[in-house]
């Protein structure tokens, strides 16, 4: 059996109580705190020790220089370069829509101007080492550039040979990354947050990672800005009806489990027959996968098949789980969209797999996980910009509105606030 069975029929009012929720565990919190403190004290040498300890490679030079990055473009296959450039263009086009216009409103002698400014320096974390994610380089760096960030920094774990692979470096060049460092894990987050002799601190850190990286971002929040998306291990919830093709639902459940440990793959359906069909299809996919052991381990800890009474209860489960990826793999999926309250991204129908959003649909694939979609959103240009306002009043405004300010200030016992108005009348 590939998926843990959950029957929640008739439990609509107890879903928060009965549905399982992953917890990071105190060992993660303590280990991350130790790494952050080590890097904060030890700087570059601490980064080298951590890289040797966790990635198995001793580095002399942390930075990947411009010549090495540019050379990577020439070494990658032409079709990969075309795919990266197409994805970059579509991501940039979508995120350009996300930059909010500046505006102004004036009434009763007061003019309020709304405007925004980009952060000066943004740090992008991209997983690496045994795998490579050039698409995540594009997803993190492109909206930073669209937002107008002055300097974009990339940290990625090195491979066993101490290098960063060509596809990742090529994506960095295409996306306009200024600095690349072969440093990963919680130590990379510490370096970008606190700074070291080689890596100057940034204003904002974005990007996905394992639970240690996600916990590190949580712990440094406040020292630097952290994107609203708590982007930890990958998640998917597939809503399936009797008409859902079992092989499509099964492969999409396997897609997210393929990312590695601690992820979640949920199947939610009101058809017991379809549940069995999809579960059997998933078992066949796992058995044939070159990453069988990893898939089995992820599904054993985070694979669930949930039986509900109907579509409405399926969406109620989805809203409690608040998955990173929500696939409504039913006919006329759009009719269920008004029921969605909490999800990182929604995919409608059988022809809209999460993998499309992972690469080049345009919206960001850095999405909230671990139920943080209840209060946060996908990575966007807003994560790289600060929204400000400027207030300008004239004497008439003080005469007209000042008495109300005085009343409110004195009500709150703030005499100097009130007097600052009175001396201007």
Of 170, 207, 171, 168, nearest to 186 by C-alpha is: 207
Q: What letters, b where the CB count within 10 A reaches 16 and e where it falls short, cover 18-30?
A: ebeebebeeebee
Q: Which distant-in-sequence residues (6+ apart) come within 8 Å of 59 by Cβ? A: 48, 51, 52, 158, 162, 182
Find out whether 216 and 35 touch, Cβ atoms under 8 Å: yes
Cβ-contact 69, 154 below 8 angstroms? no
Whether 324 is catalytic? yes
Q: CA 360, CA 235: separation in Å to the nearest integer?
A: 19
**CB atoms near residue 209 (< 10 Å):** 23
Q: Which residue, 182, 208, 164, 157, is CA-closest to 76?
A: 164
- Given the residues 325, 327, 399, 412, select the one marked as catalytic: 325
CB of 221 within 8 A of CB of 195? no
**Of the listed 324, 365, 404, 422, which one is catalytic?**
324
What is the layout of strands, in order, in the sheet containing 103-107?
103-107, 110-118, 385-393
Beta pairing, strands 151-155 & 179-181 = parallel
Active site residue 276: no
Q: How many CA atoms lie within 13 A of 221 on its CB side?
A: 13
- Asked if 199 contacts 62 with a C-beta cutoff of 8 angstroms, the reply is yes
- Active-site residue numbers? 324-325
């Amino acid at each position: 059996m590939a998926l843990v069975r959950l029957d929640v029929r008739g439990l609509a009012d107890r879903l928060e109580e009965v549905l399982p929720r992953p917890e990071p565990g105190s060992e993660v919190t303590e280990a991350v705190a130790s790494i952050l403190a080590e890097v904060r004290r030890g700087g570059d040498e601490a980064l080298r020790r951590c890289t040797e300890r966790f990635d198995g490679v001793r580095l002399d030079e942390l930075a990947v220089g411009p010549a090495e990055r540019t050379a990577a473009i020439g070494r990658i296959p032409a079709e990969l370069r075309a795919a990266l450039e197409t994805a970059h263009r579509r991501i940039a086009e979508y995120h350009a829509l996300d930059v909010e216009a500046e505006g102004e409103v004036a009434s009763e002698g007061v003019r309020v101007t709304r405007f925004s400014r980009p952060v000066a320096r943004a740090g992008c974390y991209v997983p690496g080492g045994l795998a490579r994610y050039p698409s995540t380089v594009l997803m993190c760096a492109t909206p930073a550039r669209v937002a107008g960030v002055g300097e974009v920094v990339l940290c990625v774990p090195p491979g066993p040979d101490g290098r960063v692979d060509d596809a990742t470096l090529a994506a960095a060049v295409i996306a306009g990354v200024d600095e690349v460092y072969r440093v990963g894990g919680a130590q990379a987050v510490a370096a970008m947050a606190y700074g070291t002799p080689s890596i100057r601190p940034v204003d904002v850190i974005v990007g996905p990672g394992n639970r240690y990286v996600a916990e590190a971002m949580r712990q440094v929040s406040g020292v630097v800005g952290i994107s609203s998306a708590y982007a930890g291990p990958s998640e998917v919830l597939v809503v399936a009806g009797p008409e859902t093709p079992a092989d499509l639902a099964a492969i999409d459940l396997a897609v997210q489990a393929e990312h590695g440990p601690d992820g979640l793959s949920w199947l939610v359906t009101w058809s017991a027959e379809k549940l069995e069909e999809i579960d059997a299809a998933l078992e066949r996919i796992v058995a044939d996968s070159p990453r069988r052991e990893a898939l089995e381990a992820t599904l054993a800890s985070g694979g669930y098949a949930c039986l509900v009474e109907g579509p409405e209860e399926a969406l109620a489960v989805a809203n409690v789980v608040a998955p990173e990826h929500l696939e409504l793999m039913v006919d006329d999926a759009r009719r269920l969209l008004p029921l969605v309250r909490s999800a990182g991204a929604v995919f409608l129908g059988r022809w809209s797999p999460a993998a499309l959003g992972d690469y080049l649909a345009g919206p960001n694939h850095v999405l909230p996980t671990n139920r943080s979609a209840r209060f946060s959103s996908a990575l966007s240009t807003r994560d790289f910009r600060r929204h400000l306002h400027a207030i300008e009043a004239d004497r008439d405004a003080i005469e007209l509105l000042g008495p109300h300010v005085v009343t409110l200030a004195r009500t709150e016992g703030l005499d100097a606030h009130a007097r600052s108005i009175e001396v201007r009348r």
